[in-house]
A and B are shown apart, each in its own frame.
Chain A
C-alpha cells in the first residue's frame, strides 16, 4: 500500500510541467499553449520552476482575483518558498532594500502612499497635453524620416521614456543610460551579477538626484523625485528607500508601456477592421474601451506575478499550504472564457473589457495604470489617425518577439505608409 502511494507521488512530481512555458511561434498573441491547456483543466495547478521547486500556477480569472485580494498571500520575497524569477533575484534578496513590490500590509501601505501623489487622477489628466505633444513630435519625426520607419525606436520607446522622465524630473539626456540598465536586470534568466549592476546604477543615479532636489527644493513639487525628496526631508523615508521607489517607477513605467505600444500596433496592423474602429472614432469612451481590450488581449506581463502563502488557503477545491509559492499568470486569466466570451478574439467594442487583470488586482495593482492608459489612448488613436495607411514591411513571422523578457513585446517593428 505504502509502495503504491510512493509510486504515485513520484509519478505526480515527474509529471509536473516546467514553467515558464513557451509561446507557439506561429501565434505570437496567444498565451503559451501549455499554460492554456492547464487553464482549461483547472484554475490552479502545480508547476516546476528553475530551482526545482513546485509552486502553484494560478490560471483562472476568479482564482487570480481572489488571491490578488487575499491578505494571506504575501509578496515578501524573503519568505521561504517564495518562487523567485531567477537566480539573480534569489541571490540579491537580502541586499535589495524593501520596496512597494516586496512589502505586505502596513509597510506596503506606507510605501504605496508615497507613490500615489504623482499618479492621482488629476495629475495624470494634467499630463495629457504633454503626452499628446510628445506623441505628435515622435510621429512627425517618423513621417519626415526614412522609409521604411521603425515603430519601437520611433514611437514605442521615446513616448513613455519622455513622459516618465518628465514626471519623475529625470533629465532626458540620461534616458539611454536608464534603458540600458533597466533591460540588463530584467532578462528572463539574468545572471546575478547583471541584475545587481543594473539595479545599483539606477539606484545610485536616483539617490544623487533625490539628494540634489533636497538641497535645492523646487517651490512647488511637480515631479515624483521632488515628491520623494519631500518625504525624505520630512523623515518619512530614507534616501535609499526613496531611490528604490524611484527606480521601481522608472523601470515599471518605461519598458512595460513601450512593449504595450509596440505589440499593440502590431496587433492592430494584423486586424485592420479593429484599427479602423480607432481611426474612425472621436469618442474618448470608444478609445478608452479599445485600450482596455488591447490590454486584456495582449497581457504583456508574462511569467506570472510572484507570491507566497503566509497561511493555509482553501481555493477552488485545493489547499494552498503556508509556505507554498504562488504564481499568478495574467494572460490565461484574461483569456478565461468564463469571464470573457470568445477570449481569443480582439474586439475593441467588447463590453466588460475593463474587467481584465492586465494591471493585476487588489492592493498591489499597478500604481501607474492611469498614466499608462492615458499614454496608450493618445498613442494608438493619434498614430492610426495620422498614418492611416500604416503597414508592416515584413511578414509577421520575421518580427523578433521578446520571449525572453518579463514583459512581452517586439524588439523591432519596421513599417511603411
Chain B
C-alpha cells in the first residue's frame, strides 16, 4: 500500500476508502504513487 495514512481497503471487496481527504504535504509522494498505481484509475489529486 503506497499511502496507508490516506487510504484503506474495505475488507469485503477491496474497494478503496479515503481516510484523509486533505492529506498533509509530507504525504504528497505517497498520494502520487497511489494515484499512479490504482488499477481502477479512481484516485484523482486536486491541488
B45 at interface by CB-CB < 8 Å: no
* Contact status B1-A362, CB under 8 Å: no
B9 at interface by CB-CB < 8 Å: yes
A355 at interface by CB-CB < 8 Å: yes
* Contact status B1-A113, CB under 8 Å: no
Contact with A along B7-41 (1 / 0, CB 8 A): 00101111100000000000000000100100111
Cα(A288)–Cα(B15), bound, Å: 24
Query: Distance (Å) between the CB of B7 and the closest chain A CB?
Result: 9
Interface of A is mostly: helix
* Contact status A116-B15, CB under 8 Å: yes
Categorize the interface residue count of chain B: 10 to 19
A281 at interface by CB-CB < 8 Å: no
* Contact status A69-B14, CB under 8 Å: no
- Which listed residue (A109, A122, A354, A362) contacts B9, Cβ 8 A? A122
* Contact status B41-A116, CB under 8 Å: no
* Contact status A362-B13, CB under 8 Å: no
A117 at interface by CB-CB < 8 Å: yes
* Contact status A363-B39, CB under 8 Å: yes
* Contact status A117-B41, CB under 8 Å: no
Cα(A354)–Cα(B36), bound, Å: 10
Query: Distance (Å) between the CB of B1 and the closest chain A CB?
Result: 5
A92 at interface by CB-CB < 8 Å: no
* Contact status B40-A113, CB under 8 Å: no
Known contacts A121-B1, A121-B9, A122-B9; is A362 also within 8 Å of B14 by CB?
Answer: no
Residue in B1, B14, B15, B33 whose Cβ sees the most chain A Cβ within 10 Å: B14
Closest B residue to A124 by CB, please name it.
B1
A365 at interface by CB-CB < 8 Å: yes
Q: Which residues of B contact A365 (CB under 8 A)?
A: 39
For window 346-378 of A, CB contacts with B under 8 Å fall at 354-355, 362-365, 367
* Contact status B14-A113, CB under 8 Å: yes
* Contact status A362-B39, CB under 8 Å: yes
Query: Distance (Å) between the CB of B23 and the closest chain A CB?
Result: 18
* Contact status A113-B13, CB under 8 Å: yes
Closest B residue to A360 by CB, please name it.
B39
A119 at interface by CB-CB < 8 Å: yes
Closest A residue to B2 by CB, please name it.
A354
Closest A residue to B13 by CB, please name it.
A113
Cα(A363)–Cα(B38), bound, Å: 8
Q: Which residues of A contact B12 (CB under 8 A)?
A: 117
* Contact status B40-A363, CB under 8 Å: yes
Cα(A363)–Cα(B41), bound, Å: 7
Cα(A365)–Cα(B1), bound, Å: 16
Contact with B along A107-130 (1 / 0, CB 8 A): 001000110110111100000000
A122-B9, A355-B36 known; 4 new pairs, CB 8 Å cut-off, are A113-B14, A117-B13, A121-B1, A365-B39
15 contacts between A and B (CB under 8 A): A69-B41, A114-B13, A116-B13, A116-B14, A117-B11, A117-B14, A120-B11, A121-B1, A122-B9, A354-B33, A355-B36, A362-B39, A362-B41, A363-B39, A365-B39
